[in-house]
């Protein structure tokens, strides 16, 4: 029963992280669409909206890599290492 509960907690944490990333993508698209609209209305001769799109995009890519590539294995390895240390320290 304990294993099932721990697996459930782990699955919930992973789902929360992925949902957080999706919210980040949604905010990115929504805000930057607004910035493009403001840019086109106020100064159509210069596309300044590219700078926040690019800068925030870099952060979004880093967030996505952390969520979908590194986080699952690195976190689990760190947790396992800590469990081993705690068990040895008893």
Integer CA distances (angstroms), 30 to 27, 37, 75, in order = 5, 11, 31
Residue 62 pLDDT > 90: yes
Question: What's the CA gap between 8 and 33, in Å, rounded?
Answer: 37
Residue range 43-54: average pLDDT? 98
Indicate the number of domains in the chain. Answer: 1
Question: What's the CA gap between 35 and 56, in Å, rounded?
Answer: 12
* pLDDT tens-digit series, residues 64-83: 998 888 766 667 777 778 87
% pLDDT > 90, the chain = 54
- Taking the whole predicted model, whether its pTM rises above 0.85 is answered as no
Q: Which pLDDT does position 80 carry in this prediction?
A: 76
Q: Which range marks the domain in which residue 45 is found?
A: 2-89
């Amino acid at each position: 029963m304990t294993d099932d509960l721990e697996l459930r907690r782990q699955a919930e944490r992973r789902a929360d992280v992925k949902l957080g990333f999706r919210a980040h993508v949604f905010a990115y698209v929504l805000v930057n669409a607004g910035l493009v609209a403001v840019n086109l209305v106020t100064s159509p001769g210069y596309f300044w909206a590219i700078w926040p799109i690019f800068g925030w995009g870099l952060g979004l890519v880093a967030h996505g890599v952390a969520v979908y590539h590194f986080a699952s294995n690195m976190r689990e390895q760190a947790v396992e290492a800590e469990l081993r240390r705690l068990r040895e320290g008893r």
